[in-house]
Structures are given as structure tokens and as C-alpha cells.
Structure 1
Amino acid sequence: MADNREVLVRPARPDDNAALLDLLRRTPQMGSVTLTFEREPDFFSGALVACEAPQVLVAEHGERPGHLLGMVDIGQRQQYINGQPCRVGYLHDLRIAAEGRGGRVLGALFRAIATAMQTPGSWMEAVILEDNLIPLGIVGRGRAGLPNFYPNGRITTSLLPGRQSRRHADSGLQIRAASAADADAQAMQQLWQQAASRQGFPVYEVEALLAGSPYYLGLRIEDYWLACLDGQVVGVVGVWKQKAFKQTRVARYSPWLAALRRPYNLYSRLFGGLHLPAVGDTFDYLHLHGLSVRNDDPLVFQALLEHVLAHQVQPRQSLVCGFFDDDPLAQVVSRYRRQTLHSRHFLLSYDHDPRPAQAHGHRHVEIARL
């Protein structure tokens, strides 16, 4: 590319679907396992799961319309901030094709983002994997045209194999599937509203779930599990299978890992562990979703987790959940066999640091929507 004028940024259109899916396949995350994060067969269905109001921007070559050099989504979703519902922007799915690297495409995308964030006091959030060294390096150095990235905590994502258990004292809790009767009784809704004290907890509506909102794609009321004590619902968690619209595919293993994959999978099958699929195949996992327990009681969460691992996670599947490292519920997950990934959470703004205005306390992350 000769100059910036050859990079055009515009909102994505429905007829960009094939090009967006191709761009995701062309921009793997490198490492000992090279992965592509895909959204087959419809990119926009996955975008509506990440954000209630997606805002996907694409960068294309001015002389080759439809050939995408990059993309980013800066959509918005409702979260509780300081106990009140708030529309929060989420910067994600940033992808730059190999032929678009060198700064021009990234600069063009962020100039469009700056235009979208012209409202004084506006801010958004982003999550970057610690293994994703290139964007972390860009954030760390700072760059003209980019917003300020304010570090806001570390997230540990856990992948837990099923069929494992931890002994614990009898809590008297009963675990059962939710039903339409629970929706009528407002039990789930009340627990979700009680979670408003957690910064960043999503604003969830049982009525929208029952109505088939695309924000809850593939979920039914029966996919939620309730913890009950003396007839009262004291905890809820959903189990969300997203493989029909969101995939993590293995593009390549490093030579040493490729050689060890089969014996590792045998060990995992015998003793429990993450199953490594063949090159070209996808990981099979379920997401914990919409977790809320009364008073952040770890015993309630453990009872729900025990039930899901024992009854919902099939052989070769994993259960994915994530917590900020200072979350007391994270200690429950740490007692189980698991593989972990670490990410950094940032708040972004062009004109101020948003962190002081947000009350201290436990922050929630919904891994299923990252």
C-alpha cells in the first residue's frame, strides 16, 4: 500500500459474511498450538452473542472492494456498573491480515474508533490474552491514535475436564434444572439482579431468554441449573454449548506437541485432562454462564460446579469458566484439575481514566461472551 488513502474503513454489511469468516481463518493466534477463532457459518450470529448491539468495522483496500485487510467490533452491551445498568463498549475481534500489517490498517481502524468515541467521558473495555504478545506490546508502548489502555486486573480462564469431584461437607443444597415455573416465580431474575453489586455483571432478562433473543443464542431455560436450600433458590448457573456458531480450531501443533498428542490424550482419557483434537478439528467445550450465588457463597458455587462436571460434561469435552484473580469464587475452581489461560483486562478511553469512578469490589467476567 502506498499511503493511508488506500485503506478504507466502513461498517460491516451482511454481504461481508464470507469475507469476515475468511479473515478469521487467515489470522490465527500463534503458539505451541496455533489456533483460529472462528464464527462459522454466520459471523453476525456470533457478534450478537458478544454484544447486544454489535458495531463491526472493516478495513478494505481502496482498489479491491470486499477484500478485507482488518476488522474490529466495538459493540455495546448492558452491564451493571456501580450497581446501575450501563451500556458498555467492548473492543474485541481485532484482526489484521498479514498483508495489512505495518501500522496503516491498525491506524485507520483506530481513527474510526476515535470518531465513534467522541462523546466526552466515553470508555470501553477490552480483554487481551497474555500469550498474545503483539497487541500487548502495542498497548504497553502506546501509540499515536490509540486510546489509553488502563490495566484493570487479570483474568484466569480454566478448562476443566468432566467426571471429577472434590469432597465437601453436605451443604443441604439440592441442584435441579430450571423450568418455566422458575421464570414465572422470578427466582432466576432476582439472583441476576442481586449480582448487580459485581462490577461488569451483565444485565440479563429471563423474558428475553424465553423469547429467543439472539443474545442467548442456543440457550433454553432448561440449560440453567438452580441450587436450592430449604425451598429457596440461592444459586444459578447456565451451561452453554456454542460450537454451532463459535469454534476454536487447531491449525498447527509445534513438532514436539504433535509427537506427544496421542500419548497425552491417552493419559487424559485415563486420568482426566484436556483432549487435544487433531489438526483441522475443533475443541469441544461448554461454557459456564450467568453465574450468580447468594452472598458469593463458595459452597453454593461448588455444589453447582460439581453437578455440571458430573452430569453435563461428556468425555473429550471441557468446561470453560473464568474469574478475575481476586474473586473469592476463583478459589473453588483452583481445587480441580484444569488447564489455564491468563488474560489482561483493560478500560480504554481517549480523555480520562475511568477506573476511579468505578466502585471497588469483585468484578465479573462472562467468558462465554468474550
Structure 2
Amino acid sequence: MPDTSEILVRPACPEDNSALLDLLRRTPQMGSVTLTFERETDFFSGARVACEVPQVLVAERREHPGRLLGMVDIGQRQQYLNGQPCTVKYLHDLRIAAEGRGGRVLAALFRAIATAMQATGSWMEAVILEDNLVPLGIVGRGRSGLPNFYPNGRITTSLLPGRQSRSRADSGLQIRAATAADAQQLQQLWQQASSRQGFPVYQVRDLLEGSPYYQGLRIEDYWLACIGQRAVGVVGVWDQKAFKQTRVARYSPWLAALRRPYNLYSQLFGGLHLPAVGNTFSYLNLHGLSVLNDDPLIFQALLEHVLVHQVQPQQSLVCGFFDDDPLAQVLRPYRRQTLHSRHFLLSYDHDPRPAQARGPRHVEIARL
């Protein structure tokens, strides 16, 4: 293991907010579109959406405190596993500054992670963009001090432009916004999704009371699919731009030259809008999806309503599914851009996968 004696890893504090925001800006996702995933203007607001109990660790040189070399969040959130509520640690927002690469900062962070895992549980989960697997260099390398990364499925994230419809027949469902009077039905729909591995343990009362875990959401942001008075499906539409942004830092030369004609084409025929360099993408997140018996026709009716009535011009709707989820098939006929990620379970001592029942697994893209 590299010598990490000069690297200090400590819990983040509110005074680190500016340095954390700066680190996110300094660690872009490279590609034909170079992106920065930001949390302006309060990093910790976004952290409280990803996890009910954030645990942010930062790394800095002992002789140069304040200039962050790396960070990671290993917060806790409640999920259903094998039908029962469980506390799961989630490793995310791992960032290593360019001047901190070479192994020491990563090793120091994972030494602190190992201590936390020994104290609170034997495994955690992580979702890593496929494009980041090689740059991060933490999967499948057998590095000393790192946990084992057990592959647990592939996730496809779809960005769907609005104002498109693929409905072939009247579903017979009424789609309407939820109200406080629907709190019990909404809770029941979320409870029935407990059969899906990884579905969050959501409490409507926390939503109504304004918990930071539901920042920016009202009960009216959830859409119910109803048969008569009975709700058989729900999906939320979550605008997170106030605390979570995806900003364009750079386009490759060929894409920069094509951006304006591409946007004109998208405006006329439908497609993803590419903002100018320095601007952010405009998108809404699909959230809290639960449909009776995982019925794809109910999901399609909800999706149709959201795309036609909620997504504005130059906006996209973001949703994600594990590739083996039967509900993922509903997206196939739609125009969309896709990103692919890998889901891992991390452990220092055993493979957690055999203890988890097989079956549809849920991913909440809005909390990644």
C-alpha cells in the first residue's frame, strides 16, 4: 500500500462547502462532452438527498490544509432487501483531484472507508459509470487496501426529450396529481414495492413534513394512475436543479461545430438539447416509481403523461433501470440518449450477493 502518512482524511464540516464545490468543478467527467457534476450552492444539500445520513470524508495534505485532494461520501440510507427494511451504506461522489492521483489519496480514503465499514457493517454499494471504470482504476485491480468489488448488474440511464408519445391504445387509467388526501394510498404503493430489491424505504409523512431527503418535492409532484378511486401506480417528477447540476465544461471540436445544427434538428424532430459551454443541462428526474404487479402498461401510461404534460421544450426526463428489469422494456420505442453504469457490492470479507434474493432490482437515479 502507498505511504499515506502525509495525507489527512477527516469528516467534512460545513466550513468545507466552498472547497468541496471547487473540487467537483476540478474533477470533470471526460468525453466528447466534458461534464462537471456540481452541487451549487450548498454541497451538503445534495448530500442529504443522496443519503438520509451523509458521511462525507475529505482528504488533504497535512501541511496544506484547505486545498482538498479528494473526497467520498459513504452515507446511509434505508432500503428494502429481501422484503425487509435495511440500512445500507452507499459509496458515491468519489473524487480525486489531478494533483492527488497516483494512489496515495485513494489509499488514504479507502483506509478510512475500511474503518467505517468495520464499525457499521460488512458491505456497501456503489454505482460507477462505465466510462469511469478505467480512469478510477479501483475495480478488478486487486490493490492492497481496497475492498472487493462484486458486480451486481448493469444500469441504463435514459434521457428522454419531452413532447413525444408512443401510446397505442387507451389504457383506461386516469392520471392525476396526488394531494395530501392521497397520503395513505401513496404509502401503500411504496410499501408494495418492498418486493423489489433496493427500493427505498419512503415515508409520506417525511415528504409532507419537508424532510431534506425530499428537498424540492411536494406531494403534488407525484402522479397517480387510478382505476376509479383506487391508485394502482405512482411516479414522482423531481426538478433538482436548485441543488444538483450537470454543467458542460467542453465539447470536442467536431461536436462543438455540430451543436447548433443538432439543436435545430432536435427542436424540429425531438432530441436532447445541448447547452452552450458553461451552461447546465435542463432535466427532470423520474422518482419513486411503483406500479401494481410491476405492470408495464401502468408505467407506460404514467410515462406518457409525464412526457407530454410535464417535460418542457429543451428539457429531458431522466430515468434508469437495471437491464433485466421488465419495466425497462417500456422505454425501447422512445427517442432517448443512454448512459451505462455498473452496480457493485463492496466488501472486505465476503461476497454479499448470495444473501440477497434474486428478482427485479430498483435503482433510484434521482439519488445517485
Give the TM-score band, short-chain normalised: over 0.9
2:329 to 312, 328, 331: 331
Structure 1 segment 54-65 matched on structure 2, within 5 A: 54-65=54-65
CA distance in 1, matches of 2:217, 2:119: 35
CA distance in 2, matches of 1:131, 1:120: 31
Q: SS where residue 260 of structure 2 aligns?
A: helix
Q: SS where residue 141 of structure 1 aligns?
A: coil
Q: In the alignment, is the contact (CA less than 8 A) between 2:133 and 2:139 conserved in 1?
A: no
Q: SS where residue 286 of structure 2 aligns?
A: strand
CA distance in 1, matches of 2:263, 2:170: 34
For structure 2, which runs of at least 5 residues remain unmatched after alignment? none
Instruction: Name the structure 1 match of 2:44.
Output: 44
Q: SS where residue 213 of structure 2 aligns?
A: helix
Q: In the alignment, is the contact (CA less than 8 A) between 1:128 and 1:135 conserved in 2?
A: no
Report the AA paired with residue 61 of structure 2: H
| 1:162 paired to 2:129 | no
CA distance in 1, matches of 2:128, 2:52: 21
Q: In the alignment, is the contact (CA less than 8 A) between 2:156 and 2:340 conserved in 1?
A: yes
Instruction: Name the structure 2 match of 1:81.
Output: 81
Q: Measured at CA, do residues 291 and 309 of structure 1 come closer, stay the same or move farther in structure 2, by a change above 3 Å?
A: same
Distance apart, 1:145 and its partner CA: 0.4
Distance apart, 1:132 and its partner CA: 1.3
CA distance in 2, matches of 1:307, 1:11: 43
Q: In the alignment, is the contact (CA less than 8 A) between 2:138 and 2:146 conserved in 1?
A: no
Instruction: Name the structure 1 match of 2:298.
Output: 300
Which consecutive segments of 4 or more residues in structure 1 shift more than 2 A?
133-138
Distance apart, 1:347 and its partner CA: 0.4
Instruction: Name the structure 1 match of 2:254.
Output: 256
Report the AA paired with residue 51 of structure 1: C
For structure 1, which runs of at least 5 residues remain unmatched after alignment? none
Q: Measured at CA, do residues 66 and 120 of structure 1 come closer, stay the same or move farther in structure 2, by a change above 3 Å?
A: closer
Distance apart, 1:335 and its partner CA: 1.4
1:203 to 201, 209, 233: 201
Aligned residues with identical type, % of pairs: 86
Q: In the alignment, is the contact (CA less than 8 A) between 1:10 and 1:58 conserved in 2?
A: yes
Report the AA paired with residue 366 of structure 1: E
- More deviation, 71-80/160-169: 160-169
- Give me the TM-score of the superposition, normalised by structure 2: 0.98
Report the AA paired with residue 351 of structure 2: D
Distance apart, 1:196 and its partner CA: 0.3
Distance apart, 1:200 and its partner CA: 0.2
Q: In the alignment, is the contact (CA less than 8 A) between 1:219 and 1:240 conserved in 2?
A: yes
Distance apart, 1:7 and its partner CA: 0.5
CA distance in 1, matches of 2:295, 2:135: 36
Structure 1 segment 216-235 matched on structure 2, within 5 A: 216-235=214-233
CA distance in 2, matches of 1:331, 1:16: 43
Q: In the alignment, is the contact (CA less than 8 A) between 1:19 and 1:67 conserved in 2?
A: yes
Distance apart, 1:66 and its partner CA: 1.1
Structure 1 segment 1-370 matched on structure 2, within 5 A: 4-119=4-119, 122-135=122-135, 137-183=137-183, 186-370=184-368
Q: SS where residue 326 of structure 2 aligns?
A: coil
Q: In the alignment, is the contact (CA less than 8 A) between 1:225 and 1:237 conserved in 2?
A: yes
Q: Measured at CA, do residues 223 and 145 of structure 1 come closer, stay the same or move farther in structure 2, by a change above 3 Å?
A: same
Report the AA paired with residue 159 of structure 1: L
Q: In the alignment, is the contact (CA less than 8 A) between 1:17 and 1:42 conserved in 2?
A: yes
Q: In the alignment, is the contact (CA less than 8 A) between 1:34 and 1:253 conserved in 2?
A: yes
Report the AA paired with residue 245 of structure 2: Q
CA distance in 2, matches of 1:319, 1:278: 19
Q: SS where residue 139 of structure 2 aligns?
A: helix
Q: SS where residue 77 of structure 2 aligns?
A: strand
